[in-house]
Structure 1
Amino acid sequence: MSTITSTQPSAPVRNLRWRTVDITVTAVVAVASGVIFWGAGLISEPLSALFQFVPGMSALTWGLFYFAGPLAAIIVRKPGAALFAELIAGVVEAFLGSHWGGLGTILPGLIQGLGSELVFLAVAYKTWNLAVTTLSGAAAGLAGMAVSWVMDYQGYSAGFIIVSFVCSIVSGAIIAGVLMWMLLRLIARTGALASLASSQDVSSRA
Protein backbone atom coordinates (compact mmCIF):
# COMPACT_ATOMS: atom_id res chain seq x y z
CA MET A 1 0.00 0.00 0.00
CA SER A 2 1.57 3.31 -1.04
CA THR A 3 1.95 6.20 1.32
CA ILE A 4 0.50 9.53 0.30
CA THR A 5 2.88 12.37 1.04
CA SER A 6 1.55 15.89 1.37
CA THR A 7 3.09 18.34 -1.06
CA GLN A 8 1.72 21.43 0.66
CA PRO A 9 4.52 23.76 1.73
CA SER A 10 4.84 24.37 5.44
CA ALA A 11 4.27 27.86 6.74
CA PRO A 12 7.48 29.86 6.99
CA VAL A 13 8.87 30.31 10.48
CA ARG A 14 8.94 33.97 11.44
CA ASN A 15 12.36 35.12 12.63
CA LEU A 16 11.78 37.45 15.57
CA ARG A 17 15.45 38.22 16.14
CA TRP A 18 16.46 41.83 15.59
CA ARG A 19 18.87 42.61 12.76
CA THR A 20 20.87 45.78 12.19
CA VAL A 21 18.46 46.85 9.45
CA ASP A 22 15.49 46.42 11.82
CA ILE A 23 17.13 48.59 14.48
CA THR A 24 18.05 51.22 11.92
CA VAL A 25 14.59 51.39 10.35
CA THR A 26 12.86 51.52 13.74
CA ALA A 27 15.15 54.34 14.83
CA VAL A 28 14.46 56.26 11.62
CA VAL A 29 10.69 55.84 12.06
CA ALA A 30 11.00 56.93 15.70
CA VAL A 31 13.04 60.04 15.00
CA ALA A 32 10.84 61.11 12.08
CA SER A 33 7.76 60.52 14.23
CA GLY A 34 9.26 62.57 17.06
CA VAL A 35 9.75 65.51 14.71
CA ILE A 36 6.13 65.16 13.54
CA PHE A 37 4.97 64.93 17.17
CA TRP A 38 6.82 68.16 17.91
CA GLY A 39 5.21 69.86 14.93
CA ALA A 40 1.79 68.54 15.91
CA GLY A 41 2.35 69.91 19.40
CA LEU A 42 2.77 73.39 17.98
CA ILE A 43 -0.69 73.27 16.42
CA SER A 44 -2.39 71.10 19.04
CA GLU A 45 -4.09 73.99 20.83
CA PRO A 46 -5.64 75.52 17.67
CA LEU A 47 -6.73 72.03 16.58
CA SER A 48 -8.20 71.28 19.99
CA ALA A 49 -10.13 74.55 19.91
CA LEU A 50 -12.14 73.22 16.97
CA PHE A 51 -13.68 70.58 19.23
CA GLN A 52 -14.30 72.62 22.37
CA PHE A 53 -18.06 72.56 21.85
CA VAL A 54 -18.01 69.13 23.54
CA PRO A 55 -15.70 68.93 26.57
CA GLY A 56 -13.14 66.16 26.04
CA MET A 57 -13.75 65.86 22.30
CA SER A 58 -10.39 67.47 21.55
CA ALA A 59 -8.90 64.01 22.17
CA LEU A 60 -9.94 63.20 18.61
CA THR A 61 -6.66 64.85 17.55
CA TRP A 62 -4.44 62.81 19.88
CA GLY A 63 -3.86 60.04 17.38
CA LEU A 64 -1.27 62.38 15.88
CA PHE A 65 0.92 61.40 18.86
CA TYR A 66 0.22 57.65 18.85
CA PHE A 67 1.30 56.43 15.43
CA ALA A 68 5.04 55.80 15.91
CA GLY A 69 4.57 52.49 17.72
CA PRO A 70 2.07 50.81 15.38
CA LEU A 71 3.90 52.04 12.27
CA ALA A 72 7.31 50.78 13.39
CA ALA A 73 5.85 47.46 14.52
CA ILE A 74 4.07 46.65 11.27
CA ILE A 75 7.16 47.61 9.26
CA VAL A 76 9.87 45.63 11.10
CA ARG A 77 7.61 43.06 12.83
CA LYS A 78 9.90 42.45 15.79
CA PRO A 79 9.07 42.23 19.52
CA GLY A 80 9.47 45.59 21.23
CA ALA A 81 9.37 47.70 18.07
CA ALA A 82 6.23 49.61 19.05
CA LEU A 83 7.49 50.36 22.55
CA PHE A 84 10.95 51.33 21.32
CA ALA A 85 9.68 53.61 18.56
CA GLU A 86 7.09 55.44 20.64
CA LEU A 87 9.56 55.99 23.48
CA ILE A 88 12.33 57.31 21.23
CA ALA A 89 9.81 59.51 19.41
CA GLY A 90 8.84 60.99 22.78
CA VAL A 91 12.51 61.62 23.63
CA VAL A 92 13.05 63.37 20.29
CA GLU A 93 9.92 65.47 20.77
CA ALA A 94 11.06 66.47 24.26
CA PHE A 95 14.55 67.30 22.98
CA LEU A 96 13.10 69.59 20.31
CA GLY A 97 11.16 71.50 22.95
CA SER A 98 7.76 70.02 23.71
CA HIS A 99 5.58 72.42 25.65
CA TRP A 100 4.51 69.50 27.86
CA GLY A 101 8.02 69.29 29.27
CA GLY A 102 10.41 66.34 29.40
CA LEU A 103 8.51 64.06 31.79
CA GLY A 104 5.18 65.12 30.33
CA THR A 105 6.35 63.96 26.91
CA ILE A 106 8.61 60.96 27.53
CA LEU A 107 6.43 59.17 30.11
CA PRO A 108 3.29 59.29 27.92
CA GLY A 109 5.41 58.03 25.02
CA LEU A 110 6.52 55.07 27.11
CA ILE A 111 2.96 54.23 28.23
CA GLN A 112 1.47 54.69 24.76
CA GLY A 113 4.16 52.48 23.26
CA LEU A 114 3.48 49.83 25.87
CA GLY A 115 -0.24 49.88 25.09
CA SER A 116 0.47 49.47 21.39
CA GLU A 117 3.04 46.74 22.00
CA LEU A 118 0.72 44.63 24.15
CA VAL A 119 -1.66 44.06 21.24
CA PHE A 120 1.08 42.58 19.06
CA LEU A 121 2.28 40.54 22.04
CA ALA A 122 -1.27 39.20 22.52
CA VAL A 123 -1.14 37.66 19.03
CA ALA A 124 2.42 36.40 19.66
CA TYR A 125 3.77 38.61 16.87
CA LYS A 126 2.21 36.25 14.32
CA THR A 127 -0.75 38.22 12.98
CA TRP A 128 -0.09 41.37 11.00
CA ASN A 129 -3.20 42.83 9.44
CA LEU A 130 -5.50 45.83 9.48
CA ALA A 131 -7.55 44.59 12.43
CA VAL A 132 -4.55 44.03 14.72
CA THR A 133 -2.96 47.32 13.68
CA THR A 134 -6.22 49.15 14.39
CA LEU A 135 -6.42 47.51 17.83
CA SER A 136 -2.83 48.52 18.48
CA GLY A 137 -3.64 52.14 17.67
CA ALA A 138 -6.73 51.97 19.86
CA ALA A 139 -4.67 50.53 22.72
CA ALA A 140 -2.19 53.38 22.35
CA GLY A 141 -5.14 55.75 22.60
CA LEU A 142 -6.42 54.03 25.73
CA ALA A 143 -2.99 54.16 27.33
CA GLY A 144 -2.44 57.74 26.25
CA MET A 145 -5.63 58.97 27.87
CA ALA A 146 -4.96 56.87 30.98
CA VAL A 147 -1.61 58.56 31.58
CA SER A 148 -3.08 61.97 30.74
CA TRP A 149 -5.85 61.38 33.26
CA VAL A 150 -3.32 60.67 35.99
CA MET A 151 -0.95 63.49 35.07
CA ASP A 152 -3.26 66.26 33.86
CA TYR A 153 -6.96 65.62 34.39
CA GLN A 154 -7.40 64.91 38.08
CA GLY A 155 -10.58 66.57 39.32
CA TYR A 156 -12.23 66.85 35.89
CA SER A 157 -15.85 65.76 35.54
CA ALA A 158 -16.76 62.15 34.79
CA GLY A 159 -18.36 63.24 31.52
CA PHE A 160 -15.15 64.92 30.36
CA ILE A 161 -13.07 61.85 31.24
CA ILE A 162 -15.42 59.42 29.48
CA VAL A 163 -15.60 61.52 26.31
CA SER A 164 -11.82 61.93 26.34
CA PHE A 165 -11.26 58.19 26.67
CA VAL A 166 -13.66 57.38 23.83
CA CYS A 167 -12.27 60.05 21.51
CA SER A 168 -8.66 59.14 22.30
CA ILE A 169 -9.31 55.47 21.51
CA VAL A 170 -11.16 56.33 18.29
CA SER A 171 -8.40 58.70 17.23
CA GLY A 172 -5.74 56.10 17.94
CA ALA A 173 -7.63 53.43 16.02
CA ILE A 174 -8.07 55.63 12.93
CA ILE A 175 -4.85 57.68 12.79
CA ALA A 176 -2.36 55.28 14.41
CA GLY A 177 -4.12 52.17 13.16
CA VAL A 178 -6.01 52.39 9.88
CA LEU A 179 -3.98 55.23 8.36
CA MET A 180 -0.66 53.63 9.30
CA TRP A 181 -1.71 50.34 7.69
CA MET A 182 -2.58 52.26 4.52
CA LEU A 183 0.76 54.09 4.71
CA LEU A 184 2.58 50.77 5.04
CA ARG A 185 1.03 49.51 1.83
CA LEU A 186 1.96 52.70 0.00
CA ILE A 187 5.56 52.49 1.18
CA ALA A 188 5.74 48.81 0.24
CA ARG A 189 4.81 49.61 -3.36
CA THR A 190 7.96 51.72 -3.67
CA GLY A 191 10.15 48.71 -2.85
CA ALA A 192 11.61 50.43 0.21
CA LEU A 193 10.66 47.51 2.47
CA ALA A 194 12.37 44.82 0.42
CA SER A 195 14.80 43.87 3.19
CA LEU A 196 12.17 43.86 5.95
CA ALA A 197 9.78 41.24 7.29
CA SER A 198 6.71 43.18 6.14
CA SER A 199 7.69 43.19 2.48
CA GLN A 200 6.53 39.71 1.46
CA ASP A 201 3.22 39.85 3.34
CA VAL A 202 2.24 43.25 1.99
CA SER A 203 3.28 42.36 -1.56
CA SER A 204 1.18 39.17 -1.49
CA ARG A 205 -1.91 41.21 -0.56
CA ALA A 206 -1.37 43.94 -3.13
Structure 2
Amino acid sequence: MKDINTNRWRTMDVVIASVIAVAFGVIFWAWNTVWSITESAFAFFPPAQALLYGVWLMPAVLSGLIIRKPGAALYTEAVAAIISALLGNAWGATVIPQGLIQGLGAELAFAALRYRSFRLPAALLAGALTGLSAALFDFIVWNSEYALGSYRIPYAIFTVVSGTLLAGLGSWAVVRALAPTGVLDRFGAGRERALI
Protein backbone atom coordinates (compact mmCIF):
# COMPACT_ATOMS: atom_id res chain seq x y z
CA MET A 1 0.00 0.00 0.00
CA LYS A 2 1.31 3.44 -0.91
CA ASP A 3 2.10 5.71 2.03
CA ILE A 4 -0.22 8.73 1.99
CA ASN A 5 2.74 11.02 2.74
CA THR A 6 4.37 10.12 -0.57
CA ASN A 7 1.74 12.30 -2.24
CA ARG A 8 2.84 15.36 -0.28
CA TRP A 9 4.84 17.86 -2.25
CA ARG A 10 8.38 18.50 -1.06
CA THR A 11 10.12 21.82 -1.61
CA MET A 12 12.21 20.06 -4.26
CA ASP A 13 9.04 19.04 -6.12
CA VAL A 14 7.79 22.62 -6.23
CA VAL A 15 11.18 23.91 -7.37
CA ILE A 16 11.59 21.35 -10.17
CA ALA A 17 7.99 21.70 -11.36
CA SER A 18 8.47 25.48 -11.42
CA VAL A 19 11.76 25.23 -13.31
CA ILE A 20 10.13 22.96 -15.90
CA ALA A 21 7.21 25.40 -16.16
CA VAL A 22 9.39 28.48 -16.63
CA ALA A 23 11.61 26.73 -19.17
CA PHE A 24 8.58 25.62 -21.16
CA GLY A 25 6.94 29.02 -20.83
CA VAL A 26 9.92 30.39 -22.77
CA ILE A 27 9.80 27.45 -25.20
CA PHE A 28 6.08 28.18 -25.73
CA TRP A 29 6.93 31.77 -26.58
CA ALA A 30 9.35 30.54 -29.27
CA TRP A 31 6.96 27.80 -30.43
CA ASN A 32 4.25 30.41 -30.98
CA THR A 33 6.51 31.86 -33.68
CA VAL A 34 7.09 28.43 -35.22
CA TRP A 35 3.31 27.91 -35.31
CA SER A 36 2.76 31.26 -37.03
CA ILE A 37 5.45 30.84 -39.68
CA THR A 38 4.37 27.31 -40.57
CA GLU A 39 0.70 28.18 -41.21
CA SER A 40 1.30 28.61 -44.93
CA ALA A 41 3.00 25.20 -45.12
CA PHE A 42 -0.27 23.63 -43.96
CA ALA A 43 -2.54 25.71 -46.18
CA PHE A 44 -3.32 22.55 -48.20
CA PHE A 45 -5.03 21.08 -45.09
CA PRO A 46 -5.01 23.38 -42.03
CA PRO A 47 -5.93 20.72 -39.41
CA ALA A 48 -2.61 18.99 -40.15
CA GLN A 49 -0.78 21.85 -38.45
CA ALA A 50 -1.96 20.33 -35.17
CA LEU A 51 0.85 17.78 -35.64
CA LEU A 52 3.06 20.52 -34.13
CA TYR A 53 0.81 20.96 -31.09
CA GLY A 54 2.52 18.47 -28.79
CA VAL A 55 5.33 20.82 -27.78
CA TRP A 56 2.75 22.94 -25.95
CA LEU A 57 1.68 19.82 -24.03
CA MET A 58 5.08 18.55 -22.92
CA PRO A 59 5.43 20.18 -19.49
CA ALA A 60 2.32 18.44 -18.18
CA VAL A 61 3.57 14.98 -19.14
CA LEU A 62 7.23 15.65 -18.29
CA SER A 63 6.51 16.92 -14.78
CA GLY A 64 4.04 14.10 -14.18
CA LEU A 65 6.74 11.57 -15.06
CA ILE A 66 9.34 13.26 -12.87
CA ILE A 67 7.40 14.59 -9.86
CA ARG A 68 4.91 11.70 -9.73
CA LYS A 69 2.49 13.47 -7.41
CA PRO A 70 -1.11 14.61 -7.76
CA GLY A 71 -1.27 18.06 -9.29
CA ALA A 72 2.19 18.07 -10.90
CA ALA A 73 0.93 17.92 -14.48
CA LEU A 74 -1.76 20.52 -13.87
CA TYR A 75 0.53 22.90 -11.96
CA THR A 76 3.37 22.79 -14.46
CA GLU A 77 1.22 23.22 -17.57
CA ALA A 78 -0.72 26.09 -15.95
CA VAL A 79 2.41 27.94 -14.82
CA ALA A 80 4.02 27.46 -18.26
CA ALA A 81 0.87 28.96 -19.82
CA ILE A 82 1.02 31.92 -17.44
CA ILE A 83 4.68 32.54 -18.36
CA SER A 84 3.77 32.30 -22.04
CA ALA A 85 0.99 34.86 -21.57
CA LEU A 86 3.31 37.22 -19.67
CA LEU A 87 5.93 37.00 -22.41
CA GLY A 88 3.28 37.87 -24.98
CA ASN A 89 1.58 35.79 -27.63
CA ALA A 90 -1.04 36.09 -30.34
CA TRP A 91 -3.75 34.51 -28.18
CA GLY A 92 -3.46 36.67 -25.07
CA ALA A 93 -4.51 35.51 -21.61
CA THR A 94 -6.77 32.82 -23.09
CA VAL A 95 -3.73 30.53 -23.01
CA ILE A 96 -4.01 30.43 -19.20
CA PRO A 97 -7.33 28.52 -18.98
CA GLN A 98 -6.13 26.58 -22.01
CA GLY A 99 -3.06 25.49 -20.04
CA LEU A 100 -5.23 24.45 -17.11
CA ILE A 101 -7.39 22.27 -19.37
CA GLN A 102 -4.35 20.74 -21.07
CA GLY A 103 -2.72 20.00 -17.71
CA LEU A 104 -5.95 18.43 -16.52
CA GLY A 105 -5.85 15.98 -19.43
CA ALA A 106 -2.44 14.64 -18.40
CA GLU A 107 -3.44 14.74 -14.73
CA LEU A 108 -6.44 12.51 -15.46
CA ALA A 109 -4.17 9.93 -17.08
CA PHE A 110 -1.84 9.76 -14.09
CA ALA A 111 -4.82 9.72 -11.71
CA ALA A 112 -6.43 6.87 -13.66
CA LEU A 113 -3.22 4.92 -13.03
CA ARG A 114 -3.37 6.00 -9.36
CA TYR A 115 0.02 7.71 -9.67
CA ARG A 116 1.68 4.29 -9.65
CA SER A 117 2.73 3.74 -13.25
CA PHE A 118 5.19 5.99 -15.04
CA ARG A 119 6.47 3.78 -17.83
CA LEU A 120 6.06 4.40 -21.54
CA PRO A 121 2.36 3.39 -21.71
CA ALA A 122 1.56 5.91 -18.94
CA ALA A 123 3.47 8.64 -20.79
CA LEU A 124 1.63 7.85 -24.04
CA LEU A 125 -1.74 7.88 -22.27
CA ALA A 126 -0.95 11.20 -20.59
CA GLY A 127 0.13 12.65 -23.94
CA ALA A 128 -3.01 11.40 -25.66
CA LEU A 129 -5.36 12.72 -22.98
CA THR A 130 -3.67 16.11 -22.85
CA GLY A 131 -3.96 16.23 -26.65
CA LEU A 132 -7.65 15.36 -26.42
CA SER A 133 -8.27 18.01 -23.77
CA ALA A 134 -6.42 20.56 -25.93
CA ALA A 135 -8.56 19.70 -28.96
CA LEU A 136 -11.78 19.97 -26.95
CA PHE A 137 -10.75 23.38 -25.59
CA ASP A 138 -9.90 24.53 -29.10
CA PHE A 139 -13.27 23.34 -30.43
CA ILE A 140 -15.05 25.62 -28.00
CA VAL A 141 -12.76 28.64 -28.00
CA TRP A 142 -10.78 28.77 -31.24
CA ASN A 143 -12.42 26.50 -33.81
CA SER A 144 -16.13 26.88 -33.08
CA GLU A 145 -16.91 28.05 -36.61
CA TYR A 146 -15.38 25.04 -38.33
CA ALA A 147 -17.37 22.03 -39.51
CA LEU A 148 -17.19 18.88 -37.41
CA GLY A 149 -16.21 16.39 -40.10
CA SER A 150 -14.03 18.38 -42.45
CA TYR A 151 -11.98 20.23 -39.83
CA ARG A 152 -12.67 19.37 -36.20
CA ILE A 153 -12.35 15.59 -36.35
CA PRO A 154 -9.06 15.63 -38.29
CA TYR A 155 -7.81 18.45 -36.04
CA ALA A 156 -8.60 16.38 -32.95
CA ILE A 157 -6.90 13.30 -34.41
CA PHE A 158 -3.75 15.25 -35.30
CA THR A 159 -3.70 16.92 -31.87
CA VAL A 160 -4.03 13.59 -30.05
CA VAL A 161 -1.33 12.04 -32.26
CA SER A 162 0.96 14.99 -31.60
CA GLY A 163 0.24 14.85 -27.88
CA THR A 164 0.95 11.12 -27.81
CA LEU A 165 4.19 11.35 -29.78
CA LEU A 166 5.72 14.74 -28.93
CA ALA A 167 4.43 15.16 -25.37
CA GLY A 168 4.10 11.49 -24.37
CA LEU A 169 6.97 9.74 -26.14
CA GLY A 170 9.08 12.90 -26.13
CA SER A 171 8.76 13.42 -22.37
CA TRP A 172 9.45 9.75 -21.70
CA ALA A 173 12.61 10.03 -23.85
CA VAL A 174 13.72 13.15 -21.94
CA VAL A 175 13.27 11.39 -18.59
CA ARG A 176 15.05 8.33 -19.91
CA ALA A 177 17.96 10.49 -21.10
CA LEU A 178 18.18 12.44 -17.83
CA ALA A 179 17.90 9.49 -15.40
CA PRO A 180 21.42 8.03 -15.98
CA THR A 181 23.00 11.45 -15.36
CA GLY A 182 21.89 11.42 -11.72
CA VAL A 183 19.95 14.72 -11.89
CA LEU A 184 16.72 12.88 -11.12
CA ASP A 185 18.07 10.78 -8.25
CA ARG A 186 15.88 12.59 -5.70
CA PHE A 187 12.80 11.51 -7.66
CA GLY A 188 11.25 8.16 -8.44
CA ALA A 189 12.25 8.62 -12.09
CA GLY A 190 15.92 8.61 -11.09
CA ARG A 191 15.65 5.77 -8.62
CA GLU A 192 13.89 3.52 -11.10
CA ARG A 193 16.25 3.98 -14.05
CA ALA A 194 15.85 0.41 -15.22
CA LEU A 195 12.06 0.62 -15.23
CA ILE A 196 11.61 3.83 -17.23
Say which of 38, 48, 55 aligns to 2:39: 48
Shift of 1:13: 5.2
Residue 107 of structure 2: SS of its match in structure 1?
A: helix
Say which of 117, 122, 130 aligns to 2:107: 117
Say which of 188, 199, 204 aligns to 2:179: 188
Cα distance in 2, alignment partners of residues 27 and 173 from structure 1: 23
Aligned to 1:78: 69
Shift of 1:196: 1.4
Give the partner amino acid of 2:77.
E
Number of aligned residues: 194
Q: Any residues of structure 2 matched to 1:46-195 within 5 Å, and which?
A: 46-102=37-93, 104-158=94-148, 159-195=150-186
Cα distance in 2, alignment partners of residues 12 and 124 from structure 1: 10
- Relative distance call for 1:74 and 1:187 in structure 2 (3 A) is same
Structure 1 runs, 4 residues or longer, greater than 3 Å off: 11-14
Cα distance in 1, alignment partners of residues 46 and 22 from structure 2: 32
Cα distance in 2, alignment partners of residues 163 and 52 from structure 1: 14
Aligned to 1:8: none
Give the partner amino acid of 2:17.
T
Among all aligned residue pairs of Structure 1 and Structure 2, give the percentage whose two residues are the same amino acid: 35
Shift of 1:204: 2.4
Cα distance in 2, alignment partners of residues 12 and 108 from structure 1: 32
Give the conservation status (yes or no) of the 8 Å contact 2:129–2:160. yes
- Relative distance call for 1:134 and 1:48 in structure 2 (3 A) is farther
Give the conservation status (yes or no) of the 8 Å contact 1:114–1:140. yes
TM-score, normalised via structure 1 length: 0.90
Give the conservation status (yes or no) of the 8 Å contact 2:180–2:190. no
- Structure number, greater radius of gyration: 1
Runs (5+) with no aligned partner, structure 2: none
- Relative distance call for 1:124 and 1:12 in structure 2 (3 A) is closer
Give the conservation status (yes or no) of the 8 Å contact 1:78–1:125. yes
- Give per-residue Cα distances to partners, 1:76-120, cap 9 Å, x unaligned: 111100000000000000000011101x21011000000110000
Deviates more, 1:143-152 or 1:168-177: 143-152
> RMSD of the alignment, in Å?
1.5
- Give per-residue Cα distances to partners, 1:130-164, cap 9 Å, x unaligned: 11111101111111111111111112122100110
Give the conservation status (yes or no) of the 8 Å contact 2:39–2:46. no
Q: Which one has the bigger helix percentage?
A: 2
Cα distance in 2, alignment partners of residues 196 and 178 from structure 1: 19
Cα distance in 1, alignment partners of residues 99 and 169 from structure 2: 20
Give the conservation status (yes or no) of the 8 Å contact 1:70–1:180. yes
TM-score, normalised via structure 2 length: 0.94
